[in-house]
Amino acid sequence: MKVLDPDEEKAKQDPAYHLNSTNLETRETLAELYKEYKGDELLASTMKEPKAKKTDKFNAAHYSTGRVSASFTSTAMTPATAHEADAIADDEVRYQYVKKKAYVRLHTNKGDLNLELYCDKVPKAGENFIKLCKKGYYDGTVFHRSIRNFMIQGGDPTGTGTGGESYWGKPFKDEFKPNLSHTGRGVLSMANSGPNTNKSQFFITFRSCTYLDRKHTIFGRVVGGFETLTAMENVESDPKTDKPKTEIKLISTTVFVDPYEEADAQIAAEREKEAQKQEEERAQTSASISKAKAEQEPKTYRAGVGKYINMAATKRSATDEDSKPSSSDTAAKKPKGRMGFGDFSSW
C-alpha cells in the first residue's frame, strides 16, 4: 500500500517538476513564460463559434453550414444534429438584382466628364466608385499622373499615387470580363499595384491600351465631355514623375443613377412580401389545425356519465327493431312451394 503525499501530487502538475536540474537562464525564461503566457486566452478566442447568420429565401445557399460534421469530429464544437443552410454573402445576393448601368458626372477645373458605369457587369468596382463619390471621397483630389497618348490617373486623396482606400477599407478582387477591353478613348478602369489590389484610384485612357486587358478592371467609359478630356490631355506633365505641371483638380461628383439603391429597395420589398406570405400561410395552417381538432372531438349530448351517447338515436333504433316483422311471421306467410313431379298430363 502506497501513501500519496498531497503536496507532491500538486507539485507534479507543474511541468517544471519533471526537470531534474535547470540553470539560472532556464529558470528566468520559465518564470517570464508563466508570467506573460496568454496561449489559453488566444486559443479560447479563436475557438469561438461564428454567429449563425439568419437565412431566408433570398440568401439561403444550396449547401449547409457544416456544423453537424464539424461538431461530430471536434470536441471543441458545440454538438449540432440539424443541418442548416449556409448564408450567401449579402453582396452576391444584391448584385443579382443590379440590372442597370450607373451614371456619374465629374466636375473638374477643366470642365465636366460624364461617365457610364458597367454596374451590371462589374458590380463590385461600380459600387466602390459610386459609394466613394456619394461619400465625397474624391472631392478636392487631383489627377496626379498624366501621360499624353496613354491615360490620366486620379482618385488618390494624398495626391502621391500611393494612397487611397476602397469604400470597404480593404482591397477588393479584380473583375475581368471578356467583352470589356481597353479599346478606344475614354475607357474608365481601376488602377492597382498588382492582382486583386483595387482601392480608390482609377484612370481614363486617351487611346487604346489593349495590353492592359486582364490586368486592370474596366468598369465604365466616358460618354460626354470629350473636349474636357482633351483639355486634360493637353496639360504638360513632368517627364520624370508624369505629374501635371498645372493642377488638374476633381472638384466634386454628382451621381445621377444609382442601381444599387434600386436593388436594395427591391430586395427589401420582396422580403417584406415574402414575410407577409409566410405569416398568412402560418395563420391558415393554424386555422386548419384548430378546425381539424374541433371536428375530431366527440359531440357532447348531456352532462355526466354517458354524455357522449345519443339516447334519442338509441331509442329510435330500438323502435325500428320492434316495428320489423319477426322471422317466424315471414316464414308463415311464405307460400309453400310444390314439391315432386305430379302427373304427366301436361306432357
Task: Give the pLDDT of residue 333.
Answer: 56
- Which of 67, 144, 145, 182 is an active site residue? 145
Q: Where are the beta strands (DSSP E) in the chain?
A: 60-64, 85-87, 102-108, 111-117, 141-142, 145-147, 151-154, 187-190, 202-205, 218-224, 249-257
**Catalytic pick from 212, 214, 266, 271?**
212
| pLDDT value for 42 | 66
Out of 129, 202, 203, 219, pick the active-site residue. 203
The grid coordinates listed for 59 are: 440568401
pLDDT exceeds 80 at position 21:
no
Concerning whether 96 is annotated as a catalytic residue, the answer is no
- Catalytic residue among 192, 214, 226, 266, which? 192
Cβ pair 185, 229 in contact under 8 A: yes
Query: Catalytic annotation on 256?
Result: no
Q: How confident is the model at residue 26 (pLDDT cuts 50, 70, 90)?
A: confident
Report residue 320's pLDDT band, with 50, 70 and 90 as the boundaries: low
| Residue where the block lists cell 528566468 | 28
Whether 83 is a known active-site residue: answer no
The model's pLDDT over 146-202, given as tens digits with 9 standing for 90+, comes to 999 999 999 999 999 999 999 999 999 999 999 999 999 999 999 999 999 999 999
> Annotated catalytic residue: which of 105, 150, 185, 214?
150
Question: What's the confidence (pLDDT) of residue 85?
Answer: 82
| Mean pLDDT, rounded, of the chain | 85
Cell of 298: 366527440
- Tell me if residue 153 is catalytic: yes
- Which member of 67, 216, 219, 221 is catalytic? 216
Q: Which three cell numbers stand for residue 185?
A: 478613348
User: Does the annotation count 129 as an active-site position?
Assistant: no
What domains, with CATH codes, occur in the chain? 56-88 (no CATH), 102-258 (2.40.100.10)
Q: Cell 486582364, residue?
A: 214
Look at residues 181, 243, 167 and name the one whose alpha carbon lies nearest to residue 218: 181
